[in-house]
């Protein structure tokens, strides 16, 4: 009894000590925020290390530790196509979107993706900015709630504390350091946490595989569960479609994630983008590979399955690793979760201040006033996210998938076409955002009813990709804006 209590105290001390460091970093940087440009985009001053790790660490949320290993645990190696799709999608994002959007947003003095769309299509009515900000706030609120659900589950599972206490603690930490420091603080914390969580996710399978004599017994356990031991079981149409859906259903989303695209906007020089790309992609490949191994190891360790598959990594830690390591794992998972939540809350705050307050209510707002509104917005969106998480309406995986598809479909096609295609106009842009977002929002209901087996992201992305040039063509007699 005494030993168990001592271990619990050590785990809690590790947890609170870790986040005390994060709050200290936020406190040191609070005086550096002098305007909304500093708060929202760090005055475009980040080096390639900060940009790369911030972009990737703010991408891999609790999905990396909880949701994705759970899918591998349930489906076997075939679930890895989601990781492959994400890696390819992010590489293409670095290659074809990052340099261009960094350059053009500086030329147009755009701090948010929404203000870029407005400038690109010369929309003086504000319609594009309002509809894009609305979609952003809607899907990001769901995304943020998925992180809060993860926080509640973690604290409840490892420490036995109440679920609501878990989401309250996590949200409080994120709000404090985002409220205090803004973009630059989040980037520095992402850098530190990116290395930390990578070390933890790699250590778990590396440590266990040594003790389990390699992958051979693990793959035997996979086969015993009647799961395919290869990425591609056969070359049937059903298998090939499953591969495409698994890869494209995640990978396409990168082109429309504002919290990742804003990381590209904040790099110091476009010439540093290539180094940031290879650093970031290397990090992602290692992290996803390790998470895949965690899911496969779960099949071997728990052959009878688990009542809560999304807690497979937590169960692995509690049953096979030294007890004190639970504190470090909790910190790593919370690091992944808070990274994404901080980036997302920051984007939503900029939407509310730049795209709603400044555009609709006070067009002549001063930088100091917008900074104050941004910080108030942080609190507002945190409270809304808390309310959604409180009711725990869905699993982490499905919440993330829904939000990811909504954002990717709303903005991805327009980002790509706006950077590379001429003769588009504001009507096409408006239609693309609206159609993509609405299709992604309602598609899960059609898919469940008619068994279409088409991912929401793929459906929304395709419809938006068609709507933008089609509506632009149908309204070509009106003012068109070409890409110089």
Within a domain: 404? no
Picking from 411, 352, 431, the residue whose alpha carbon sits closest to that of residue 384 is 352
DSSP class of residue 269 equals: -
CA separation, residue 259 to residues 73, 187, 380, 484 (Å)? 29, 12, 18, 26
Q: 77 by DSSP, 3-state: which?
A: helix
Within a domain: 479? no
Within a domain: 157? yes
Picking from 183, 93, 140, the residue whose alpha carbon sits closest to that of residue 416 is 93
Within a domain: 465? no
Within a domain: 80? yes
Within a domain: 425? no
Contact 8, 325 (CB under 8 A): no
267 DSSP β-pair partners: 46
Residue count of the chain:
484
If 0-12 CB within 10 Å is exposed, 13-18 middle and 19+ buried, where does residue 92 land? middle
Q: Please calculate the CA angle 148-190-98 and round it to the nearest 5 degrees.
A: 105
Average pLDDT of the chain is 82
Contact 295, 73 (CB under 8 A): yes
424 DSSP β-pair partners: 481
The CATH number linked to 334 is: 1.20.1730.10
Picking from 185, 184, 196, the residue whose alpha carbon sits closest to that of residue 17 is 196
Boundaries of domain holding 24: 2-396
Contact 374, 36 (CB under 8 A): yes
Contact 436, 410 (CB under 8 A): yes
Number of domain units in the chain = 1
Within a domain: 444? no
Collect the ranges in the chain with pLDDT lower than 50: 1-3, 35-40, 42, 480, 482-484
Segment (H or E) for 130: helix 127-159
pTM: 0.84
Contact 191, 53 (CB under 8 A): yes
Within a domain: 469? no
């Amino acid at each position: 009894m005494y030993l168990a209590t001592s271990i619990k105290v050590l785990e809690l001390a590790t947890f609170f000590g870790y986040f005390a460091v994060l709050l200290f970093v936020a406190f040191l940087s609070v005086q550096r925020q002098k305007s909304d440009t500093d708060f929202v985009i760090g005055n475009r001053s980040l080096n390639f290390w900060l940009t790369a790790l911030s972009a990737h660490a703010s991408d891999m949320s609790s999905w990396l530790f909880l949701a994705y290993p759970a899918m591998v645990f349930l489906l076997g190696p075939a679930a890895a196509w989601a990781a492959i799709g994400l890696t390819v999608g992010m590489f293409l994002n670095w290659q074809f979107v990052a340099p261009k959007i960094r350059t053009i947003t500086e030329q147009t003095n755009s701090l948010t993706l929404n203000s870029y769309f407005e400038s690109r299509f010369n929309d003086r009515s504000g319609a594009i900015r309002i509809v894009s900000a609305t979609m952003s706030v809607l899907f990001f609120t769901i995304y943020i709630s998925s992180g809060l659900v993860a926080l509640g589950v973690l604290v409840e599972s490892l420490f036995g504390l109440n679920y609501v206490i878990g989401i309250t603690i996590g949200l409080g930490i994120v709000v404090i350091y985002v409220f205090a420091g803004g973009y630059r603080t989040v980037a520095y914390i992402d850098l530190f946490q990116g290395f930390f969580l990578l070390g933890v996710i790699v250590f778990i399978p590396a440590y266990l595989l040594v003790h389990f004599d390699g992958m051979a017994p693990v793959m035997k356990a996979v086969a015993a569960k009647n799961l395919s031991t290869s990425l591609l079981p056969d070359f049937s149409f059903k298998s090939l479609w499953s591969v495409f859906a698994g890869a494209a259903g995640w990978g396409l989303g990168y082109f429309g994630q504002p919290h990742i695209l804003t990381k590209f906007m904040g790099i110091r020089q476009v010439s540093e983008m290539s180094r940031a790309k290879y650093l970031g992609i290397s990090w992602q490949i290692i992290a996803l590979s390790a998470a895949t191994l965690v899911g496969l190891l779960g099949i071997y360790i728990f052959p009878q399955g688990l009542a809560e598959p999304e807690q497979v990594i937590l169960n692995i830690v509690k049953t096979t690793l030294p007890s004190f390591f639970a504190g470090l794992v909790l910190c790593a998972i919370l690091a992944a979760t808070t990274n994404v939540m901080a980036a997302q809350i920051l984007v939503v705050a900029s939407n509310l201040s730049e795209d709603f307050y400044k555009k609709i209510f006070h067009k002549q707002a001063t930088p100091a006033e917008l900074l104050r509104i941004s910080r108030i917005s942080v609190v507002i969106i945190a409270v809304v996210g808390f309310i959604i998480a409180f009711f725990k309406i869905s699993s982490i995986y499905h919440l993330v998938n829904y939000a990811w598809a909504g954002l990717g479909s709303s903005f991805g096609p327009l980002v790509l076409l706006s950077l590379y295609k001429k003769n588009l106009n504001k009507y096409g842009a408006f239609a693309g955002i609206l159609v993509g977002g609405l299709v992604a929002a309602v598609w899960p209901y059609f898919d469940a009813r008619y068994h279409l087996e088409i991912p929401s992201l793929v459906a929304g992305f395709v419809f938006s990709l068609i709507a933008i040039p089609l509506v632009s063509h149908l309204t070509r007699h009106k003012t068109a804006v070409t890409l110089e």
